[in-house]
Amino acid sequence: MKRESIRQEIEKHPLSAVERIELDFDAISKMYGGYNYNNQLMMTNRTVLNNGYFGEEHNRYDNPLVRIDAWCTLLVTSGSLTISVNHKEITVHKGSILFVSPFDLLEKAMTSPDGRFYVMMVKKNFMEDCISEKKGIPLGNILSVSRHEDPIIALDDKEMEAIKRNFDIIYYYLKEDHKEYKEILLRSSLFLFMVEIISMINSKIDAARKKGDVLERAKNREEEIIIKFMVLVRKHAYKEHNPAFFADGLFISVQYLSLILKKNTGHTASYWIANEITRLAKGLLRDPGYTIAQVAEQLHFADQSSFGKFFRKHAGISPKKYTETL
């Protein structure tokens, strides 16, 4: 299925209509025979999904599109898994690993009759806390894989053995009672797993770079994101001032969006949003039919004072003085 443009997707499925599901890891692990820690980290190694959504609990939602509040990693050990991520149906075969981020839109999932796989889910905040404790871990590589059209890594036998060993270790620490050391063991094991994955990704990137096809794809992907971001800013900046809205619409993180923009344009997402709001504000202030208070309301500021502070910061002049210069 060819992916629709971001504009079509947002018009078809407004962000407000896409619910972010707060997963109950305790309930899920009991349902599918796994283990979890404090509703922050969960794993099962014998999940068989039904032919509906992610468990019968989610069938009650009128809108089948959901976002989960967790990073999800699936390692297929037998058969295959077919899942719809960001409106694209993909199939993960035995010996492959799939990454799903908290920014992804999920729909139906189903397995082959012999489908077996590990599923590890980590709440977004728990993952971020783990990363902050260990400096220098380049999670951007994992994020870039999950943002790709086909967020799957095919593993050779040695890689499969290494990743499965990491999953088994985390599963063991989730299952066993280690009292006050349990969280330390889980955080350390999760960190080592991420390092293993990142090392693997870097090796594959280096191999592909030698073939000369990675840089061009990366460049094209970044250009695509920038164009779509600018379209969204022109369409929504008058009422949406937070970069998170636009990053969410592009299925990427704010950090990744600003990184791409800074690299290619010299400015962050916040700069371009503020630039568009300032442009709109100047246009409205030039209209004698609008008062400053009405302009603030039109641009969805909390009040005239907050609009005035914003305008002075980005235009270098107060709204009142600006109107007096016209």
Q: What is the CATH number of the domain that holds 59?
A: 2.60.120.280
23 located within any domain: yes
Query: Is residue 219 scored above 70 in pLDDT?
Result: no
Cα 106 to Cα 115: distance, rounded to the nearest angstrom: 19
Q: Does 266 lie in the same domain as 121?
A: no
Q: Band of the pLDDT at 191, cuts 50, 70, 90?
A: confident
- pLDDT value at position 80? 87
Region at 299 (left for phi over 0; alpha for psi -120 to 50; beta for the rest): alpha
Contact at 8 Å (CB) between 70 and 29?
Answer: no
Q: Does 170 lie in the same domain as 63?
A: yes
259 residue type, one letter: L
Cα 229 to Cα 111: distance, rounded to the nearest angstrom: 35
Q: Band of the pLDDT at 2, cuts 50, 70, 90?
A: very low
**Residue entry with tokens 């707060």:** 22
Q: What CATH number should be reported for the domain holding residue 240?
A: 1.10.10.60
Of 210, 229, 248, which marks where a domain is finished?
A: 210
Of 210, 232, 261, which marks where a domain is finished?
A: 210
Q: Does 126 lie in the same domain as 95?
A: yes
CA atoms 254, 256, 257, 261: torsion sign: positive
Show the domain range for 321: 213-326
- pLDDT value at position 8? 43
Cα 280 to Cα 275: distance, rounded to the nearest angstrom: 9
Q: Does 291 lie in the same domain as 182?
A: no
Least confident of 119-123, 124-128, 236-240, 272-276: 124-128
Q: Does 183 lie in the same domain as 145?
A: yes
1 located within any domain: no
> Domain total for the chain?
2
Percent of the chain with pLDDT over 70: 75
Contact at 8 Å (CB) between 281 and 241?
Answer: no
Q: Band of the pLDDT at 54, cuts 50, 70, 90?
A: very low
78 located within any domain: yes
Contact at 8 Å (CB) between 257 and 113?
Answer: no
CA atoms 301, 304, 308, 311: torsion sign: positive
Q: Does 237 lie in the same domain as 292?
A: yes
Q: Does 58 lie in the same domain as 20?
A: yes
For 173, the 3-state DSSP assignment is helix
Q: Does 257 lie in the same domain as 305?
A: yes
- pLDDT value at position 251? 84
Query: Is residue 69 scored above 50 in pLDDT?
Result: yes
Q: Does 144 lie in the same domain as 36?
A: yes
Q: Note if the pTM is more than 0.75.
A: no
291 located within any domain: yes
Average pLDDT over residues 287-310: 93
The H-or-E segment that residue 78 falls in is strand 70-78
Of 194, 210, 226, which marks where a domain is finished?
A: 210
